[in-house]
Amino acid sequence: MNRASRTIRRFAAALLFSVPLLSLSACGGAAVGLIAGGGIGGTGFSTGAIIAFGSVIVNGVEFQTTDNTIRKRLDDSPDNIQGRDNEVFQKGMVIRVHYSTGDNTALQIDFQDDLEGPVSGIDDAAGTFTVLGQRVAFDNATNFLFEQGATLVDNTIVEVSGLYDADGLLHATYIKVEPAGKTTFEIKGFVSGLDTSLQTFRLGPIPGSATVTVSYSAAQLKDLPSGLANGLYVEVKTQNASGTLVADSIEGRTSAANDAPSEGEASVEGFVADLTGNAGAGFDFTLNGIHVHAAPGTDGIGVVAPNVRVEAEGTVSNGILNAEKIEPR
């Protein structure tokens, strides 16, 4: 996608904020096949928080949806969900969009949360709380959805979607608050420190990081054909909310980095991590686990700094996003 077409798309998206936003379509239609190694063949890829609807606006770009757009909430079902965009998804949810590069039509939109469980240690002044050992930050930009009778207090159940920074803090862009009562909780992350003798591993939001310990001795494994291994991205379901998490089930999931195409255009929102280089020689860093290269003179390269939230857009080649433009978020 060239710079002119990106500008037109962003201008069109910006116009939508000045008028009432309506979801323009229902869903359904034929499936689009995923290619091995991530992505949908011959398409673009965008991941970030939903800014608004009409159809779906992510990273400042409006992605048109049609009756053939596949919409999935992967924590609920692997199947296509019937409904309008703003019925299936909510503002603030971090989604992944595979789209047609020719006309900006969304072919498939996927959502999976980061964790769901009881809140503890709410600090209103700092804007943080803990869920299943994971620290979560919230602010005025976080979209809260309260179910009837629910308030944000300790032991309230929350579903959280957001972006992890380089220190492993989850910056929530969407929080659904439910009354206490649910007994099965879930958390996603990368496996490390696998101990097959003790049947435990550490789970963290960043490869190699460790937030909680998981015991898997009685767990049912799903979508893990070769079993557990360090570096895998998984979802753990458990009934205990603190200490070592005793897994009832462990399911293999696809991280954003593995879902992104190895070739093609892409835009990615996240916090700058693993930063090397400088503005004069160029930067290499990761956003949401995706390797980004910014050559000297890249539009917006001056905003790149450790742990800064940005969006990078450009072309992926050999699994590396070569940024053409970087913007603060």
Give residue-wise pLDDT tens across range 187-212: 999 999 999 999 999 999 988 788 89
233: tokens are 């991205």
54: confidence class by pLDDT, cuts 50, 70, 90: confident
Domain boundaries, the chain: 3-111, 115-178, 186-252, 262-328
Q: Which two tokens stand for residue 126?
A: 């700092």
Rounded-to-integer distance, Cα 138 and Cα 177, Å: 13
Closest CA to 173 of 165, 156, 157, 161: 161
Q: How would CATH label the architecture of 186-252?
A: Beta Barrel (2.40)
Specify the 3-state DSSP secondary structure of 248. strand
The pLDDT value given to residue 5: 45
Residue range 262-328 forms a domain whose CATH class is mainly beta
Nearest to 107 by CA among 40, 55, 37: 40
Whole-number percent of the chain with pLDDT over 90: 72
Check if the beta carbon of residue 274 is closer than 8 Å to that of residue 286: yes
Q: Residue 149: what pLDDT?
A: 84
Do 186-252 and 262-328 come out as alike in CATH topology? yes
CA angle 185, 269, 201 (to 5 degrees): 35
List, in sequence order, every residue forming a beta bridge with 175; answer none if it has no partner. 144, 160
Q: Which of 50, 42, 48 is nearest to 107 (CA)?
A: 42
In Å, how far are 59, 111, 118, 132, 243 from 309, measured between CA atoms?
A: 12, 20, 27, 24, 31
Using alpha carbons, select from 152, 69, 164 the residue that is nearest to residue 115: 164
In angstroms, the CA 121 to CA 131 distance is 9
pLDDT tens profile 259-289 = 888 888 999 999 999 999 998 899 999 999 9
CATH of the domain spanning 115-178, picked from 3.40.640.10, 2.60.40.10, 2.40.50.320, 3.30.470.20: 2.40.50.320
Region of poorest pLDDT, from 11-20, 133-142, 166-175, 205-214: 11-20
Is residue 42 very low, low, confident or very high in pLDDT (cuts 50, 70, 90)?
A: low
pLDDT digits (tens, 9 = 90+) for 139-154: 999 999 999 888 999 9
pLDDT band at 76 (very low <50, low <70, confident <90, very high): confident
Length of the chain: 329
pLDDT of residue 16: 41
Q: Check whether 43 has a pLDDT greater than 60.
A: yes
- Rounded mean pLDDT, 298-317: 95
The amino acid occupying position 221 is L
DSSP string, 13-60: HHHHTTS-------------PBPTTSSBTTEEEEEEEEEEETTEEETT
What's the distance, CA 130 to chain centroid?
19
Within a 10 A sphere around the Cβ of 294, how many other Cβ atoms?
A: 26
Cβ atoms of 210 and 217 within 8 Å: the answer is: no
pLDDT, one tens digit per residue, over 1-14 is 444 444 444 444 44
- When pLDDT is cut at 50, 70 and 90, the band that residue 103 belongs to is confident
- Confidence at residue 104, expressed as pLDDT on a 0 to 100 scale: 84
Whole-number average pLDDT of the chain: 87
Other CB atoms closer than 10 Å to residue 112's CB: what's the count? 21
* pTM, rounded to two decimals: 0.86
Answer whether residue 26 shows pLDDT above 60. no
Question: What is the pLDDT at residue 102?
Answer: 75
Rounded Cα gap, residues 208 and 227, in angstroms: 18
Average confidence (pLDDT) over 308-315: 96
3-state secondary structure of 257: helix
Q: How confident is the model at residue 223 (pLDDT cuts 50, 70, 90)?
A: very high
156 vs 29, which has greater pLDDT?
156
Over residues 61-79, the mean pLDDT reads 90
